[in-house]
Amino acid sequence: MVLTGHYVYFVCIKLKNTNHLQTSLLKYILVSLAFLLFCNASAQEKPPKWSIKPYVGFQQSRFDWSIAGNSKGTNPNVLSELIWEKLKGPSYGLDVSYNIIEKLTLKVANQYSSISKGEATDTDYADDNRQGAFYYDLLNANKGYLYNIDLQLNYKLLKIGKFRINPIAGFSYNQQKFYLLESASNPASNGLNSTYEARYKGFDFGGEFVLKMDAFSIGATVLGGFYTYSAKANWNLIPDFEKPVSFTHKANSFALSGDINLSVPLNKGLSIEADYKINNINTYSGVDKAYFNNRNTEETQFNGASFRKNAVFVGLKFSF
């Protein structure tokens, strides 16, 4: 009986240890499975490293600037004013994005627009507040281009359900070339081929707001930019002006741009997207320098400039 009692005790201890090992093993398996599921879920949520988006569309824009009669901004306060309007043409773009870390993305956006239709007016005034016009001309402006490149950092800051808020900071460069061309209705404009080339450089700050659903996502981007402005003109029919640089403008600008984006995924790595973009740039007063063949350079007040652009695009986004 003693041996049997010891045997029974030994068997009970062994069974108890076996049950303990089985419980520990089961816990280990469950924890391992949970960890693997977590890792798999994290891997599924991990964004692709690269995305490339080519797109095409159509743009309409307007641009104007004016100068005063002297460096104090008087005599008169608006001496000469140029307005380009109804500028239309095709647009092409390419966006390339790279996911640096999980929440930080670097994006390079390029966009080129051709001006194939438009008109311009050139008006000179003798009196303040655009009174006493003594020169007016309506000209063709169906040539030129608009180009911009943006380098942006996008940070995924906040996610509330299906809604996301992503701050954006970046550098922007804009270059535009506008033409004044001869008009069939104005014989005096024969041979006119004058150009005005403007450049904006500066920094953008803003945010992206995205609602991401299973079947689609819709986003809105708003950016404010602080730029330096420089421009040069070649007035080819005025013999007193130097060529190819007849006069220059320098000032500072503030830009406000926006983008409404609709994205519909076709599969894991491909989506079709539509965008409506606006870009408004207001340039403040600065310096106009005119260069002449037979007299010294003259300075007057550059009253500022205004640029407006609206564009619609459709494109494909490849993610991998």
Beta-strand relationship, 144-155 and 163-181: antiparallel
Domain boundaries along the sequence of the chain: 1-46, 49-319
**CA–CA separation, 220 and 151 (whole Å):** 18
- Model pLDDT, residue 35: 46
Query: What is the total residue count of the chain?
Result: 320
pLDDT at 213 over 60: yes
What are the tokens at 127? Answer: 């009196």
The residues that bridge with 163 in the sheet, in sequence order, are 160, 211
Contact 145, 187 (CB under 8 A): no
- Model pLDDT, residue 196: 98
**pTM, entire model:** 0.84
Cα angle 14-17-21, degrees, rounded to a multiple of 5: 135
pLDDT at 17 over 50: no
pLDDT at 27 over 70: no
Contact 286, 249 (CB under 8 A): yes
- 3 state SS of 184: coil
Contact 25, 19 (CB under 8 A): no
pLDDT in tens, 232-259: 999 999 999 999 999 999 999 999 999 9
Contacts of 16 (CB under 8 A, 6+ apart): none
What's the start-to-end Cα distance of the chain, in Å? 74
- 3 state SS of 12: helix
Per CATH, domain 49-319 is 3.40.50.10580 = no
Q: How far is CA 106 from CA 101, 116, 140, 257, 314, in A?
A: 10, 33, 41, 19, 22
Among residues 257, 280, 47, 261, the alpha carbon closest in space to that of 155 is found at 47
Give 69-98 as a 3 state SS string: CCCCCCCCCCCEEEEEEEEEEEEEEEEEEE
For residues 159-188, average pLDDT: 93
| Dihedral over Cα of 204, 206, 211, 214: its sign | positive
Contacts of 232 (CB under 8 A, 6+ apart): 196, 197, 245, 247, 248, 249
pLDDT in tens, 81-96: 999 999 999 999 999 9
How many C-alpha atoms does 54 have within 13 Å on its Cβ side? 0
pLDDT mean across residues, the chain: 89
Q: How far is CA 75 from CA 224, 286, 300, in A?
A: 34, 17, 11
- Model pLDDT, residue 185: 76
What band does 45 get if pLDDT is binned at 50, 70 and 90?
low
Q: How far is CA 28 from CA 1, 18, 25, 41, 141, in A?
A: 40, 15, 5, 20, 76
pLDDT at 152 over 70: yes
DSSP state of 294: S
